[in-house]
Structure 1
Amino acid sequence: MQLVEYSDSESDKEMGESHRQAKKPRHNPSSNLPPLPATFRDLYATNSRVSVQDDPSLHGGRKRAIPHVEGNWPTHIYLEWYPSKGDLIVVEDLLAKVSWGNAKSDEIKSLLHSDLGVQLPLHISLSRSVVLRTEQRSSFIEELERKIKESGTSPFHVQPDALKWVSNYERTRWFLVLHVAKPKQDNLNKLLSLSNHVLGKFNQPPLYTTQQGSKQCPSDYSEFFHISIAWRLTEPEEEELKRVQEIHAPNLFKLHINFDCVKAKVGNNVASVLLPGST
């Protein structure tokens, strides 16, 4: 390829033009765009299905809790928290303290980001993973919306008050969780109660049994409400359990986690039901 020769005048002219363009401020069209609505994430709440078989190798060793059956729809009711940048830094720092010096830190899998580094929403469960039939989906959401509207439960916030490891029902996975303190208006127990009511109408089990409730108040399940931030396949040893309890994290207990809606995921679809009084 031959080099094209320019005269001095042409070269100077182009350099001057280039210099002017470099100094000209560039407009970033994204800087004036409004933030995405919270419901936008609901459209992409489920990863693409790569297999209908229970293949743990595709999911970091996890086993499918509910086998895939045509006509069955895995369903989950929950409160979603999408941490702000500041809140995310606090939780990431906490997770780093748990992993630091832990001989089995490679077994701890964060729930804060996907494998591609995309931030993930966190949640407080209001139900187990249950199964609905195709013909039940619409009536289930309608009943949930009706009960939430009748409840008069206003938007509220919770604050973490402890860090601990808990297992799932099958004891096939252990989760590092932020336990949350009981909110002033007892909103979590109220929402759990109406969730259990809706589940019962569709012959689905409640999240917790009456035997698990407080001795003073069987309908009080405050000790169980939590937000999972990481998981592992093996049960933590006693030393690890103790170490987690001794971690110093004052910023964690200053977090205010706000909720203004209840979400229900039925298959790949997510319905967001606003709490009364939400704007």
Structure 2
Amino acid sequence: MALVDYSSSSSASTESLHQQPPAKRRKAGDSETSTLGRPSSLTVKADGQDGKPTSRSVMPPLPSTFHDLYASTVRQSVVDDPSLHHGRKRQTPHIVGNWPSHLYIEWNLTSPEYDMLVKLVQDIETELQGKVKLHNFLTSDLGSPLPLHISLSRPLSLTTANKDAFLEKASGAIQAGAVAPFAVTPRTLAWYKSPDSDRIFLIIRVASSRDLPGGKDAGGALNPELVALLRRCNGVASQFGQPPLYKHHEDDGSSGDEAVGVAFHVSIGWTFDVPGEEMSLRAIKVLKRSKYAEVRKWEIDVSAVKAKIGNSVHHIPLGRAGKGRIAGRPEAPDYF
């Protein structure tokens, strides 16, 4: 007995469906059609070295905001529990109703870049001889690659009442600035003791492409574009009672821009242990090995600033070059 008693019209249409010819099976070696006769992927024909056409897959690039959709981690506890985070404690204690926030530049690694940095960290761990427990920022607990970043603010804590106003002012300050898209390059390894944390970070210092030999402004203040962005981000943070980033660099007796310019970096690892001086020097010299020469030639494109407020990430594009808009060299009065 049938489970469903179809009407005569339904039965007729069902029979016509059953009478359709079966799908053709894919022939051996046919990489362009699937078992249902549909293209299996977008392909482009090109002439190979032997003059015969070859096929290669072409995928459209992801939009720059795609990664923002997956920037949040799973909340494991509603209270600060260092045991869930390798002993780490919040730099800014969580207050119910407040929104932990951060302004930064994101660097999404390509597969070759990720593989190279993983090898770099492994070589550094070899130099540490197991005497220092080094945690890396390259890979998640699930084994997937993570984006890195260059900070443009300290950890911030915004109230529900002012978080939207903060985002509006930060967006306005960044987009009204004279900083056009630019690029920075990894330069040297260093150990960095954060004034906000009891951790020691393994960092890669970055330099603007304009600062490198042959660059347009070689010999000037280091990282002028990043310094210009930092001024604007710090100005907005101060308006909301938040501490500025790298203020201690300006207070050490050096020229403000010169002192701050050397501070920008990408963190690739951290530890609670203090490496001995000799071991520390050996570790940071690893990047100078010839096998990592390519790393020092990479260019990290900077076309936007990210504003993370709670679990939401907002994309703030930089301005475009034009009259009165020279990367890192504001010609108009500061926004704030």
Number of residues of Structure 1 aligned to a counterpart in Structure 2: 261
TM-score (norm 2): 0.71
Counterpart CA distance in 2 for 1:213 and 1:170 is 16
Once the two structures are TM-superposed, the CA of residue 94 in structure 1 deviates from its matched residue by 1.4
1:56 is matched with which residue? 82
Kindly report which structure 2 residues correspond to 1:58-77, keeping only aligned pairs within 5 A, or say none: 58-77=84-103
- In structure 2, do the counterparts of structure 1 residues 210 and 56 end up closer, same or farther at CA, with 3 Å as the change threshold? closer
- 1:107 alignment partner, SS class: coil
Counterpart CA distance in 1 for 2:139 and 2:296 is 22
Counterpart CA distance in 2 for 1:213 and 1:90 is 37
2:314 is matched with which residue? 271
- 1:228 alignment partner, SS class: strand
Kindly report which structure 2 residues correspond to 1:92-111, keeping only aligned pairs within 5 A, or say none: 92-104=118-130, 107-111=133-137
Contact 1:62 1:233 in 2 (8 A): no
Q: Using CA pairs below 8 Å that are at least 6 residues apart, which structure has the higher relative contact order?
A: 1
1:229 aligned onto 2:268: yes
1:251 is matched by which residue type in structure 2? E
2:138 is matched with which residue? 112
1:39 is matched by which residue type in structure 2? T
Contact 1:124 1:225 in 2 (8 A): yes
Contact 1:210 1:218 in 2 (8 A): no
Counterpart CA distance in 2 for 1:22 and 1:57 is 56
1:154 is matched with which residue? 180
2:268 is matched by which residue type in structure 1? I
Once the two structures are TM-superposed, the CA of residue 36 in structure 1 deviates from its matched residue by 2.8
1:102 is matched by which residue type in structure 2? L
Kindly report which structure 2 residues correspond to 1:78-89, keeping only aligned pairs within 5 A, or say none: 78-89=104-115
When Rg is computed on C-alpha atoms for both structures, the one with the higher figure is 2
Aligned-pair Cα RMSD in Å: 2.4
Structure 1 range deviating more: 165-174 or 44-53: 165-174
1:197 aligned onto 2:221: no
- In structure 2, do the counterparts of structure 1 residues 103 and 22 end up closer, same or farther at CA, with 3 Å as the change threshold? farther
Query: Can you list the C-alpha shifts for 1:156-210, whole angstroms capped at 9, x where unaligned?
Result: 1111111011122244211111001245371000000000110111111100226
Once the two structures are TM-superposed, the CA of residue 152 in structure 1 deviates from its matched residue by 2.1
- 1:187 alignment partner, SS class: helix
Q: Residue 255 of structure 1 is aligned with which of 298, 304, 315? A: 298
Where does structure 2 lack aligned partners over 5 or more consecutive residues?
1-24, 43-56, 211-216, 218-223, 322-336
Once the two structures are TM-superposed, the CA of residue 240 in structure 1 deviates from its matched residue by 2.3
- 1:100 alignment partner, SS class: helix
- 1:230 alignment partner, SS class: strand
Counterpart CA distance in 2 for 1:148 and 1:267 is 20
Query: Can you list the C-alpha shifts for 1:206-262, whole angstroms capped at 9, x where unaligned?
Result: 002265367552233012100001111222221221112322132221111111001
Counterpart CA distance in 1 for 2:130 and 2:191 is 14
Counterpart CA distance in 2 for 1:277 and 1:218 is 26
Contact 1:154 1:260 in 2 (8 A): yes
1:140 aligned onto 2:166: yes
Structure 1 range deviating more: 46-55 or 87-96: 87-96
* Higher helix content, 1 or 2: 1
